Amino acid sequence: MVLAIDARHRHIGGMPTLLILMIVGVAAFFAFTAARAAAERAAEIGRDACHAAGVQWLDQSVHAIGMRLRRQDSGWLGVERSFRFEYSEDGHDRHVGRVVLLGEKLVGFSGPSRAAQAVVRSFPLQ
């Protein structure tokens, strides 16, 4: 009888660990999908900016260079992500551009000077 009680207690003791692992797994999944969505949005902005400026977007990708917590206009904390991309004006040089997103909203851009106005019109900085 004592052995059956001990076995049952060990099984119940493992349940909170499993529950915590499941919660952590779900949180990691949502964090990953949010990061991928932000990277895709940054890539879209960088690509459109290079197209508007008539320059070549190099490597067809953006690279995450920073992430921090920052207050949104609503007062809630949000994740601000910074991305770097590279472009070339004549095919022989490389320049670095930067896109900063707070959630899904564009809050900062530096890149091809001819594209800055087009980017601001397409994705208003607010």
pLDDT in tens, 46-72: 998 888 888 999 988 899 999 999 999
Rounded distance between C-alpha atoms, residue 11 and residue 100, angstroms: 48
CB neighbour list of residue 26: distance below 8 Å, 6 or more residues apart: none
Residues 85 and 46: beta-carbon distance below 8 Å:
yes
Alpha carbon dihedral 10, 13, 19, 24, in 10-degree steps, equals: -100
The helix/strand/coil state of 122 is helix
Q: In the prediction, which pLDDT does 85 show? A: 94
Closest CA to 98 of 65, 68, 74: 65
Q: In the prediction, which pLDDT does 119 show? A: 62
By CB atoms closer than 10 A (0-12, 13-18, 19+), residue 47 is middle
pLDDT in tens, the chain (126 residues): 444 455 555 555 566 888 899 999 999 999 999 999 999 999 999 998 888 888 999 988 899 999 999 999 889 999 999 999 999 988 888 999 999 999 889 999 988 876 666 665 565 555
Q: In the prediction, which pLDDT does 1 show? A: 46
The helix/strand/coil state of 66 is strand
